[in-house]
């Protein structure tokens, strides 16, 4: 309202989007979503992984700031949350509990503790009110997207927002995450490249997840290591992503860097968070495999057919839009299509994706929301690309895809 008043006094007639997306308002929005935490912050993180092909660049720039850590719980709130989970004498249940959090994120924070038998563990403790606020938070984000005035009126985001709501409810149930943690531990128990923390079911609750403490360094510290080590670690992580999607059909879809650690003494990657794990339907996975095969063969006709069967809606009479979408696929898959070690650190792919996304406005009348399943997988894929770029890694993703998928 203040921004609108200022512009009206200058004789302007601003739109709602113009007023919302000023730098000052963008900062206020980001700060408030970070303080709200919960689903508002988590959904902002999910949407921020878009590269400008679904959401306007201005909005993704605002939401991208939410990928950083959240705000810690006040001590009284922490005590009440633990009391609700374990009872008044909750501290007697643990051999020791460190009230200072190791980390704070979108829907919870992590504390070090000791189990009754003296094992060192961590407790992921959920912020109060997260589950109750999910539906309203998603509705508020949807209202924000509409208010911006930057989305065409004909685009239907309801399926995407419904899927995001369901995913957020699943992420807020720590007993569900405990089951995924145990499942991935079983799947990867013989893979010496990874470490999955032990889950402690007897100490876990719907809002508190207890798991073994695993010593590791932040994944970004790989920047100080040799090119060979960085290349190997990212190759391992891409290989796991492909196995998750195409073989296990269960993907940990949150690419937040804080969900991974690295052990320099063993060379192993530590997988620390499975809250965003998602099962994918075999039909979608097989359809994506067909799309990759078409892209690898360079057959645009087959690529269009596979994308349409996957759920991308492109009307036959809008050939220009079809060409645009196919070019977007080919650009996004560039690291996979490149025959050899792709240098993520030297690549300008993110900039080209952003520039390409800006041209999407020309086709706004033909826009359709993407298949909901693709948003969650692309969130993971985009996050891995970002991490590889941050680490300056060179990965022969082409060979990994050929061996693991095609």
Please determine, for residue 149, whether its predicted confidence score (pLDDT) is greater than 90: no
Report the C-alpha gap between 274 and 256 in whole angstroms: 11
The angle that helices 227-243 and 397-404 make with each other, rounded to 10 degrees, is 30
pLDDT of residue 68: 47
- Residue 193: band (very low, low, confident or very high) from pLDDT cuts 50, 70, 90: very high
Q: Which residues on adjacent β-strands are paired with residue 126?
A: 108
- β-strand 108-114 against 217-218: which pairing, if any? unpaired
289/332 Cα distance (integer angstroms): 15
143 pLDDT band, cuts 50/70/90, is confident
Three-state secondary structure call for residue 367:
coil
Q: How confident is the model at residue 328 (pLDDT cuts 50, 70, 90)?
A: confident
Q: Looking at residue 230, what is its pLDDT?
A: 97
Predicted confidence (pLDDT) per residue in 179-189, tens digit: 999 999 999 99
Beta bridge partners of 394: 343
- Res 22: pLDDT: 60
Is residue 214 scored above 50 in pLDDT? yes
Q: Output the DSSP codes for 162-176.
A: HHHHHHHHHHT-HHH
Mean pLDDT of 41-59: 50
Q: What are the helix (H) ranges across 99-173?
A: 130-147, 158-171
Q: What would the pLDDT profile of 250-290 be if each residue is shown by its tens digit?
A: 999 988 888 899 999 999 999 999 988 999 999 999 999 99
Q: What is the pTM of this model?
A: 0.81
Answer for the pair 249, 280: CB distance below 8 angstroms, yes or no: yes
Q: Is 178 exposed, middle or buried (0-12, 13-18, 19+ CB in 10 A)?
A: buried
The answer, yes or no, to whether residue 15 has pLDDT greater than 60, is no
Whether the pLDDT of residue 248 is over 90: the answer is yes
What Rg value do the Cα atoms of the chain yield, rounded? 22
Q: In a 3-state reduction of DSSP, which class is residue 207?
A: coil
107 vs 338, higher pLDDT: 338
- Per-residue pLDDT, 165: 83
Q: Does residue 44 carry a pLDDT above 80?
A: no
The whole-angstrom distance between residue 269's C-alpha and the CA centroid of its chain comes to 18
Both tokens of residue 34?
Answer: 């970070």
Confidence of residue 353 (pLDDT cuts 50, 70, 90): confident
Q: Is the pLDDT of residue 54 over 60?
A: no
Model confidence at 53, pLDDT cuts 50, 70, 90, reads: very low
- Residue 31: how many other CB atoms lie within 10 Å: 12
Nearest to 111 by CA among 123, 96, 95: 123
Q: Which listed residue (50, 231, 254, 273) is catalytic? A: 254
> Is residue 254 flagged as an active site residue?
yes
Cα–Cα distances in angstroms (integers) from residue 152 to residues 126, 369, 374, in the given order? 36, 11, 21
Phi, psi of 95 (to 5 degrees): -70, -25
**Range 18-24, long-range pairs (CB < 8 A, 24+ positions):** 18/149, 20/144, 20/147, 20/148, 21/58, 21/59, 21/62, 21/148, 21/150
Among 391, 180, 387, residue whose Cα is nearest residue 273: 180
């Amino acid at each position: 309202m203040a921004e609108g008043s200022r512009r009206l006094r200058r004789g302007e007639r601003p739109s709602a989007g113009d007023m919302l997306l000023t730098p000052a308002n963008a900062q206020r929005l980001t700060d408030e979503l970070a303080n709200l935490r919960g689903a508002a912050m988590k959904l902002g993180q999910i949407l921020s992984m878009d590269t400008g092909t679904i959401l306007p660049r201005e909005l993704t720039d605002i939401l991208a700031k939410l990928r950083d850590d959240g705000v810690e719980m006040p001590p009284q709130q922490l005590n009440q949350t633990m009391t609700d989970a374990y009872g008044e004498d909750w501290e007697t249940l643990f051999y020791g509990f460190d009230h200072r959090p190791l980390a704070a994120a979108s829907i919870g924070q992590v504390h070090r503790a000791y189990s009754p038998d003296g094992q060192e563990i961590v407790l992921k403790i959920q912020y109060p009110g997260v589950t109750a606020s999910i539906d309203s938070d998603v509705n508020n984000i949807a209202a924000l997207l509409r208010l911006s005035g930057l989305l065409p009126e004909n685009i239907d985001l309801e399926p995407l927002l419904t899927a995001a709501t369901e995913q957020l409810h699943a992420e807020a149930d720590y007993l569900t995450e405990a089951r995924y943690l145990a499942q991935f531990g079983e799947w990867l128990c013989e893979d010496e490249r990874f470490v999955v923390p032990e889950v402690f079911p007897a100490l876990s609750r719907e809002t508190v997840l207890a798991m073994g403490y695993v010593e590791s360094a932040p994944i970004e510290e790989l920047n100080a290591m040799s090119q060979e080590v960085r290349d190997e670690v990212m190759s391992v992580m891409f290989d796991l992503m492909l196995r998750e999607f195409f073989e296990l059909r269960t993907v940990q879809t949150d690419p937040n860097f804080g969900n991974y650690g690295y052990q320099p003494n063993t060379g192993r990657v530590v997988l620390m968070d499975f809250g965003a794990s998602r099962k994918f339907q075999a039909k979608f996975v097989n359809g994506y495999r067909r799309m990759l095969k078409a892209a690898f063969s360079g057959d645009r006709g087959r690529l269009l057919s596979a994308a349409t069967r996957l759920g991308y809606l492109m009307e036959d009479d809008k050939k220009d839009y079809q060409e645009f979408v196919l070019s977007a696929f080919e650009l996004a898959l560039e690291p996979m299509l490149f025959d050899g070690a792709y240098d993520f650190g030297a690549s300008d792919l993110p900039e080209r994706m952003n520039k390409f996304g800006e041209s999407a406005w020309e086709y706004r009348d033909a826009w359709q929301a993407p298949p909901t399943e693709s948003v969650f997988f692309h969130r993971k894929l985009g996050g891995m690309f970002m991490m590889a770029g941050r680490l300056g890694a060179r990965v022969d993703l082409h060979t990994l895809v050929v061996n693991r998928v095609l």
